[in-house]
Amino acid sequence: MKIAVVGTGYVGLVTGTCFAETGNQVTCVDIDERKVEKLRKGKLTIYEPGLDVIFDRNTKEGRLKFTTNLAEGIKDAQVIFLALPTPPGEDGSADLKYILGVANDLGPLLENYAVIIDKSTVPVGTAEKVRERVAKNAKVEFDVVSNPEFLREGVAVEDFMKPDRVVIGTTSEKAKKVMEKLYAPLVRQGNPIIFMDERSAEMTKYAANAFLAMKITFMNEIANLCEKAGANVDDIRRGIGTDSRIGKRFLFAGIGYGGSCFPKDVQALEKTANEFDYDFKILKSVMKVNEKQKTKMMPHVKAYFDGDLKGKTIALWGLAFKPHTDDIREAPALYNIKELRKAGAKVVVYDPEAMENVRGVVGKKVKYAKSPYEAIEGADALMIMTEWPEFRTPDFDKMEAALKNKVIFDGRNLYELKDMRDLGYTYFSVGRDT
């Protein structure tokens, strides 16, 4: 099939590369000339494990191309993915200016029947808006389909190639056939393609992300209660996760969810509810609890130093919002850096992938260490913000020699309580005894 992908951000680049890998001829379009130039030279613009290998293969074999020219990119394409940003507007609702802008441009450029696919996370009713915009100037038949993406950063290639399910919103039989053919190589193991109308597909994406954010937030609240009631959230997780109605995944308590999706989508769904005059109370609580959870270690840090952090050096391990990504959007680490600095502490940070991104936002306000051990050299305490695997089994002898005080504030529950007790640490974690 000939495919165009408009927008080479995270979702667009993964979508384009993965569909090239299944044998399609893919052209990715982006207005950012520098980005397109880099991609043309064979250099990836995002960090995503495993993507580089298939990106290399498909660019070399000529199945994956890049252009800044929309007309050239969509020429003869049977399907056109729109993978454009939908940043939150001032009021928290998703801003559709990029998607609707491209929809306006597409109409006069279409030469043959094409399926236009909303891949971005867009509010209910967007497919209809896109259809109206394209229809204004279109001379040929076309369909607009909602096909939300459920991939996670860090495991995006696997999620894309082996999806739990593919959700497709369309009532057009012609579009359905095209979509079935496109996704056939990815659902060979019997994972379903679920067809529904456009509005339901759009809502499904928000419901999935909001539900997962709620699941995590529920566990964070259980963890907060465990701390007061003398229970252990790890045991609760095991105790309830084995119930197949609840499920084992996304039950890890910590210092809150971040990233480019959950915070934005929970907010946007609440906004949609508002527009339809529905008071979605759970979502409001989820947002409120998560905001507070991000800096939940700060009171412990302050109390440990008798309320005075002036002149203290605090080392942070982990800056990305989760492991295996360099993404720092809504990352708890950023909120903690701000709080620590406000309290007068000096901050030294280390992250295997996200240092450059943090430098772009925080600049010289913190020190950047080349290794986890350099970060804690002479530091008064260590805070753990992201559960990178390399932090899980550190060299505790080296740590002891480097840290001024044997104290760790662990926002991701990396270590066993007993081990930390045996090693003589004052160890704060989430939802467990100190």
Interface of this chain with ligand UGA, residues 317 to 376, rule: CB under 6 A:
321-322
By the rule CB under 6 A, 149 interacts with ligand UGA = yes
Angle made by CA atoms 412, 413, 418, in degrees to the nearest 5? 160
Among the options 18, 28, 226, 261, which is catalytic? 261
Check whether 251 is labelled as a binding-site residue.
yes
Q: How far apart are CA 408 and CA 354, in angstroms?
A: 21
Size of the site for ligand UGA (CB under 6 A): 20
Check whether 121 is labelled as a binding-site residue.
yes
CB closer to ligand UGA, 253 vs 402 = 253
Q: Where are the alpha helices (DSSP H) in 230-311?
A: 233-241, 262-275, 281-293, 298-304
Check whether 17 is labelled as a binding-site residue.
no
Q: How far apart are CA 380 and CA 311, in angstroms?
A: 10
CB closer to ligand UGA, 70 vs 261 = 261
- Three-state secondary-structure class, residue 167: strand
CB atoms within 10 A of CB 139: 9
CB closer to ligand UGA, 165 vs 281 = 165
Structure tokens, 416: 């066993």
Task: Examine the residue annotation and report whether 226 is marked as an active-site residue of this protein.
Answer: no
| Nearest distance, CB of residue 235 and ligand UGA, angstroms | 16
Handedness of CA 253, 254, 259, 262 (dihedral sign): positive
| Nearest distance, CB of residue 386 and ligand UGA, angstroms | 8
| Nearest distance, CB of residue 320 and ligand UGA, angstroms | 9
The candidate with the shortest Cα–Cα distance to 261, out of 200, 204, 212, 318, is 212
Write out the DSSP string of 49-80.
TTHHHHHHHHHHTTSEEEES-HHHHHTT-SEE
Residue span 211-240 as binding mask against ligand UGA, x where in contact by CB under 6 A, dash where not = -x---x------------------------
> Quick check: 92 and 270 in contact, CB under 8 A?
yes
CB closer to ligand UGA, 250 vs 368 = 250
Q: How far apart are CA 87 and CA 265, in angstroms?
A: 10
Residue span 238-277 as binding mask against ligand UGA, x where in contact by CB under 6 A, dash where not = ------------xxx-x--xxx-xx---------------
Tokens 């082996």, located at residue: 162
What Rg value do the Cα atoms of the chain yield, rounded? 24
Residue span 183-212 as binding mask against ligand UGA, x where in contact by CB under 6 A, dash where not = --------------------------x--x
| Known binding-site positions | 30, 35, 86, 121, 150-153, 205, 250-254, 258, 264, 322, 329
Residues that bind ligand UGA (CB under 6 A): 121, 149-153, 209, 212, 216, 250-252, 254, 257-259, 261-262, 321-322
Which sequence positions are flagged as catalytic?
261
Q: Which residues are annotated as a binding site for substrate?
A: 150-153, 205, 250-254, 258, 322
